[in-house]
Structure 1
Amino acid sequence: MHSQHGKKIHFIGIGGSGMSGLARIALSDGITVSGSDSKDSTVLSALVALGATVYSQHAAENVVGADVVIYSTAISSTNPEMSYAVERSIPILTRAQALAQLMVGTKSIAVAGTHGKTTTSSMLTVALQACGSDPSFAIGGTLMASGANAHRGTGQYFVAEADESDGSFIEYKPLSAIVTNIEHDHVDFFHTPQEVTTAFANFAATISPGGFLVYCADDEGSRKLGTQSHPFTTVSYGEAEGADLRLDQISLLPMGSSARVIWHGRTVGTLELQVPGHHNVLNAAACIAMGLSLGEPIHQLLAGLHSFRGAGRRFELKATEHGIRIIDDYGHHPTEISVTLDAARRYAGDGRVLVIFQPHRYSRTQAFLNEFATSLDKADDVTLLEIYAASEKPIPGISAELIAEKMQHGHFIPNFALAAERMIELAKPGDVIITLGAGDVNSLAPIIAEGLNKRFA
């Protein structure tokens, strides 16, 4: 989109995590940016400070003078700004199409997979920064270190989180890609596991012939994709025998981990992380495999990964009150929840793991009722809020209460205030409280912290 220099771009739904990042990059590229969003947020005030014009209502006149309109998938075709753009034949791009244009002319690296995309993209960005590069990036979450989810760097690399949830990641056509794992999710879009496999195969087919696919040898779906015949180089990582980038002597600690790094059969160093969980050891391995494939030095890559403090809402410590730690985590698929609660168990030591969980989407809840119940029961106690719809229409009869009924330690309390109160009364020093889910459950963390402060004061 360098070619858009001096043009005016209008973003419908500019406050969304992906959209605001693109707006930030467009502003860096010297493009005039306007946008509309009904929600007020710190993200919007930051964009205004960078020079964007932001409207709080969706109205046709907001689009007047725009050369291009970019919209998020959550926007309906009846939106007045969309209608105006269609009537006036103004070019309309999806977020993915716009991001693909922003990546032209760079060494683009797309990070895909059912789980771990945001963390792996964030880790790779930090690792490349440690190699002296100033990569551009567009990441779903908020990087803790920089506080921004997107940046137009001066370096040659562009790291982009590639979201498969609506199949749009086939737009990116990256030089290289990482696929962390492949499993059934986003059941509103992918009706069968086969559809997911096909989507990732289509994504891999867009990688440049001179590039490479970095895939996880420990994950069945990712391995199947990686071992098919491809016109580009494939690089495997994991604990599996024969992986190109192999980790062994893995030591998982309450708030970090370490492992020996072996590249094509040779020990090249030790990985030391300050974020917990076995899954993060694998995410880091993906970054090392990509970095080495790009010709970057191992010691700088390892130093960058050691400095990584986590992506926002990924096992993020929000507060400590009287020995009770409050963690926020975005986990919203049974596999992610299982991994998060394993890490929480190590982190809690002798304390209990207490969870407030908000399921995300009716379709996902319906598809994985039993899996949610099983993974959540890894905690000592779970308070279940009602399902966060995320632009879906409710499915009759589907409620978070169904998960609670299948659990040993599940309690359905849809009222946010009562759920927070329950947690404040239940917690004891040494316990770990987790606000869990991709909706707005994280808004309870400061309320619980304040309540605990008062209770023990």
Structure 2
Amino acid sequence: MHIHILGICGTFMGGVAALAREAGHRVTGCDANVYPPMSDQLRALGIELIEGYGADQLALKPDLYVIGNVVSRAKADAFPLMEAILDEGAPYTSGPQWLAEHVLQGRHVMAVAGTHGKTTTTSMLAWILEACGREPGFLVGGVPLNFGISARLGKVSFSERTPFVIEADEYDTAFFDKRSKFVHYRPRTALLNNLEFDHADIFADLAAIETQFHHLVRTVPASGRLVVNAREEALARVLERGCWSGVERFGVKGDAPGWRARGEPHAFDVLKSGVQVARVEWPLIGEHNQLNALAAIAAAEHVGVAPADAAAALGRFENVRRRLELRGEANGVKVYDDFAHHPTAIRTTVDGLRRKVGLERILAVFEPRSNTMKLGTMKAQLPWALEEADLSFCHAGGLDWDAAEALAPMGDKALVANSIDALVSQVVRAARPGDHVLCMSNGGFGGMHAKLLDALAKAVK
């Protein structure tokens, strides 16, 4: 079958493309913004990429078009190919629907949902299963360093219900299917990591997102397992609406039923209902990663992996690209890349780096690029998100709200620029040997990391 994917360079759709290619299909695709790491991964798989959404791509005559949720009828002029598909009456489906029908059917689906930490926790769980000989399939919204790819089919055995681990996004499926992506996956193990307001472009409020999470809960069978963050009031409200599966909670207090950690985030005992069952020692930092580890261990137990074996596997976990990833050092200044874009994620990331570098200076460089941040819905939280940084630099180009005004409570600790080049100049002028420059964006950030390292190398301090 020839599949042509619209929006192929998104992290999810790129994973769908990789799975379809591995399954033996001919895969082509198009996108308006092609940047690494997904573009590199797709080209390495021999998948032809076309820039833009020209209607002339109809001449490819694929058997099926798979439509990413970047495609919009409200912006029809930007997607002439979609208009041509509709006029032609050509067959099309969404990425989640294709995945459910052609990959997930008959597997033990393990879905990782939550506002934050989905990519990292999905990668942890997939690695635990791999290290313990389960040969899982997976689709991750990033590139786990232990695997070097974002998706694979893994061992396929319907009689054994072999595991497939998937990052389960609450964002909508497609312009013709406004349900959350994860409703399609029908997991037997559902991991609910946390829940905050996000995606202000499609959800009116937190209650609307809670409703979608409860739709996911409704799909888990009685023999299934929900692994739930005990610290999240929003998730407690979701379960109060009705729950038909077994529940394991993590992040509990004291000897309460469930999973908790004892010790520092880089070295801690794992306790289940007050009894030590494992110990994790690894290079990761931050309490958020400690909680992610507990969740992954509890989920792996549902498919028969002993907690001690899961913890041992995490000792060899290498994290994900763009998660506090050191991109280089120039003139004594280290430059990091991170995917953080929601205020809570920004705060957590800065805090994680602060725990690592102590009193050394952190320069936080970020762009409000997600749909929620572009709307300015959470702009008032930015000073709180950045308070652990010594200096902050915001790329404000294309925003409809005043970034300087939003960051005014930070005084001279925050600077704003309307272009990438101006932002680079600001950072280079402020940086000095021993500093840590943390770049945060859910996009390519205009090549910020390479430009910074080049400019820093040329700077005279």
C-alpha distance after superposition, 1:370-425 (max 9, x if no partner): 211222132111111115x6xxxx64xx1322322232321112221122122222
- How far apart, in 1, do the equivalents of 2:305 and 2:139 lie? 21
Question: Identical aligned pairs, as a percentage?
Answer: 29
RMSD (Å) for aligned C-alpha atoms: 2.2
Shift of 1:244: 4.2
Shift of 1:243: 5.0
- How far apart, in 1, do the equivalents of 2:459 and 2:62 lie? 54
Matched residues, number: 440
Tell me the secondary structure at the aligned position of residue 305 of structure 2.
Answer: coil
Summarize the Cα distance change of 1:440–1:56 in structure 2 as closer, same or farther, 3 Å threshold: closer
- How far apart, in 2, do the equivalents of 1:239 and 1:97 lie? 35
For 1:64-79, what aligned pairs fall within 5 Å after superposition?
64-77=60-73, 78=76, 79=79
Q: Which of 435, 440, 444 is equivalent to 1:440?
A: 444
- Name the structure 1 match of 2:177: none
- How far apart, in 1, do the equivalents of 2:87 and 2:206 lie? 39
C-alpha distance after superposition, 1:356-382 (max 9, x if no partner): 121124643522122112221321111
- How far apart, in 2, do the equivalents of 1:28 and 1:103 lie? 14
Corresponding letter in the other structure for 2:319: G
User: Is the contact between residue 298 and residue 307 of structure 2 (CA under 8 Å) also seen in structure 1?
Assistant: no
Q: Which of 274, 278, 283 is equivalent to 1:274?
A: 283
Summarize the Cα distance change of 1:15–1:407 in structure 2 as closer, same or farther, 3 Å threshold: same
- How far apart, in 2, do the equivalents of 1:226 and 1:260 lie? 28
User: Is the contact between residue 245 and residue 261 of structure 1 (CA under 8 Å) also seen in structure 2?
Assistant: no
User: Is the contact between residue 131 and residue 296 of structure 1 (CA under 8 Å) also seen in structure 2?
Assistant: yes
2:392 matches 1:382: yes
User: Is the contact between residue 145 and residue 320 of structure 2 (CA under 8 Å) also seen in structure 1?
Assistant: yes
Which sits farther off after the overlay, 242-251 or 286-295? 242-251
- Name the structure 2 match of 1:406: 409
- How far apart, in 2, do the equivalents of 1:276 and 1:411 lie? 28
Tell me the secondary structure at the aligned position of residue 439 of structure 1.
Answer: coil
2:364 matches 1:355: yes
Tell me the secondary structure at the aligned position of residue 326 of structure 2.
Answer: strand
- Name the structure 2 match of 1:190: 203
- How far apart, in 1, do the equivalents of 2:69 and 2:309 lie? 38
- How far apart, in 2, do the equivalents of 1:366 and 1:40 lie? 26
Summarize the Cα distance change of 1:40–1:232 in structure 2 as closer, same or farther, 3 Å threshold: closer
- How far apart, in 1, do the equivalents of 2:343 and 2:81 lie? 37
User: Is the contact between residue 341 and residue 370 of structure 2 (CA under 8 Å) also seen in structure 1?
Assistant: no
Tell me the secondary structure at the aligned position of residue 407 of structure 1.
Answer: helix
Tell me the secondary structure at the aligned position of residue 11 of structure 1.
Answer: strand
Summarize the Cα distance change of 1:307–1:442 in structure 2 as closer, same or farther, 3 Å threshold: farther
User: Is the contact between residue 374 and residue 407 of structure 1 (CA under 8 Å) also seen in structure 2?
Assistant: no
Summarize the Cα distance change of 1:357–1:227 in structure 2 as closer, same or farther, 3 Å threshold: same
- Name the structure 1 match of 2:142: 141
Q: Which of 16, 29, 36 is equivalent to 2:23?
A: 29
Shift of 1:188: 1.1
- How far apart, in 2, do the equivalents of 1:226 and 1:370 lie? 30
- How far apart, in 1, do the equivalents of 2:321 and 2:382 lie? 23
C-alpha distance after superposition, 1:183-213 (max 9, x if no partner): 1111111111111111111121122332111
Q: TM-score, normalised by structure 2?
A: 0.89
Q: Unpaired segments of 5 or more residues in structure 2?
A: 157-161, 173-179
Shift of 1:226: 4.1
Shift of 1:242: 4.9
User: Is the contact between residue 215 and residue 226 of structure 1 (CA under 8 Å) also seen in structure 2?
Assistant: no
2:317 matches 1:316: no
Shift of 1:57: 4.2
Tell me the secondary structure at the aligned position of residue 425 of structure 2.
Answer: helix
Moved segments of 4+, more than 6 Å: none
- How far apart, in 2, do the equivalents of 1:95 and 1:258 lie? 39
Summarize the Cα distance change of 1:442–1:318 in structure 2 as closer, same or farther, 3 Å threshold: farther
Which sits farther off after the overlay, 359-368 or 170-179? 359-368
Corresponding letter in the other structure for 1:400: A
Summarize the Cα distance change of 1:439–1:40 in structure 2 as closer, same or farther, 3 Å threshold: closer
- How far apart, in 1, do the equivalents of 2:443 and 2:148 lie? 20
- Name the structure 1 match of 2:238: 225
Summarize the Cα distance change of 1:386–1:146 in structure 2 as closer, same or farther, 3 Å threshold: same
Shift of 1:122: 0.9
Which sits farther off after the overlay, 207-216 or 402-411? 402-411
2:428 matches 1:453: no
- How far apart, in 2, do the equivalents of 1:234 and 1:91 lie? 40
